[in-house]
Amino acid sequence: MAKISEIEPLVLAHTEKGSATWASVMIVVKVVTSNGMVGYGESVPTLRVINVYNTIKQVSKGYIGKEAEEPEENYQEWYKQDFYLARSFESATATSAIDQALWDIVGKELGAPIYKLLGGKVRDKIPVYANGWYQDAITPEDFAEKAKEVVKRGYKALKFDPFGPYYNWIDEKGLKEAEERVKAVREAVGNDVDILIEHHGRFNADSAILIAKRLEKYNPMFMEEPVHHEDIEGLRKYRQHTSLNIALGERLISLKETAVYVSEGLVNILQPDLCNIGGITVGRKVISLAEAFDVEIAFHNAFGSIQNAYSLQMSAITPNLYLLENFYDWFPQWKRDIVFDETKVENGHVKVPDKPGIGVSINEKLVESLKVEPKELEVQEEPVWVVKGTWKKYLT
């Protein structure tokens, strides 16, 4: 058995004239074992790049010297040591990335992709929905034209946020504008394409209910994070006043937190993120939890190509999969090149990659060339979660 000998956090960004363009950042974790095996994982950056980078270094202290082939035991030991793991996003995303890398190593040692270690795949191709496609869309016509382009690529489902800069509450003007955008997309793609409405967890319950009543006629497949993530009472109120499907889960960081939403019937489509739920070790348990309650899975998959590769592996074993979120076609080229562009979308599907471990090859030379020092991110008027141009241009 191999012991974990080194864990290195890597901040990656495309550079121009020697300075980093921080609009697109990846935090990668490289794990090396005593026998020279290497595994890779990915953490979530948001506005906490330095915090996450430093937390990975701290969490690593709990993993160095442990057996690489025992990710379950290692996770449980860190859960015991950390004490606040279920309450710390930074610790959760650091732990998740290390856990991913360990499963990558186990797969490489056994010569099998991760899906084979978890019971085998139930599908050869993963159906995906499009996100990131509506950059710079403001008017209904903008949304409609871009939506048509997405459908031409072969996608049968697309997600978008039609609410502009509204936060917490929405007035009649905002409702009308959102409805016009949604109506334009529905008319552009027809009734055979699923439309998914992203709220980004930013409304109070009353405003979210007004939105649901206004948009239900356009038959959205789900309403994602209609209220603030932690607003359980608001979510219960929303559930009482609309029959639309609720999707949520990207901000969940533990199995037991997930169980609250699932067991209370507050979610129809669960969106765990393998970069903060606890990696593969906890992710596989979340799949089973959701299956037991007839809840479908659509992994949150918005950051980088390493996360995407793990999401494909886990989607392959998920019997209760709805779709997998997909930004891949809207990634900057360097993110695709990190995995040698091995996870291309074809006609709305991605073939399950089957190389040992993560399923894809990692372009280690490119990773090295993209390394930058972690730094604070500037806080912009347009939040980091906004698909660029759909908020700031609206204000100007």
Show which residues are catalytic.
200, 300
| Side chain identity at residue 65, one-letter code | G
Estimate the crossing angle of helix 305-316 against helix 279-292, to 10 degrees: 40
**Cβ–Cβ under 8 Å, residues 159 and 324:** no
**Cβ–Cβ under 8 Å, residues 189 and 147:** yes
- The SS3 assignment for 268 reads coil
> How many Å apart are CA 374 and CA 376, to the nearest integer?
7
The residue written with tokens 């040591």 in the block is 81
**In the structure, how many helices (H) and strands (E) does the chain have?**
14, 13
Cα distances from 259 to residues 238, 293, 377, 379, in angstroms, run: 19, 10, 34, 34
> How many Å apart are CA 372 and CA 377, to the nearest integer?
13
Strands (E), 299-377: 324-326, 349-351, 371-372
Question: Phi, psi (5° rounding) for residue 194?
Answer: -75, 135
DSSP state of 3: B
**Cβ–Cβ under 8 Å, residues 82 and 263:** no
Sign of CA dihedral 135, 139, 145, 151: positive
- Bridge partners of 28, per DSSP, are 10, 42
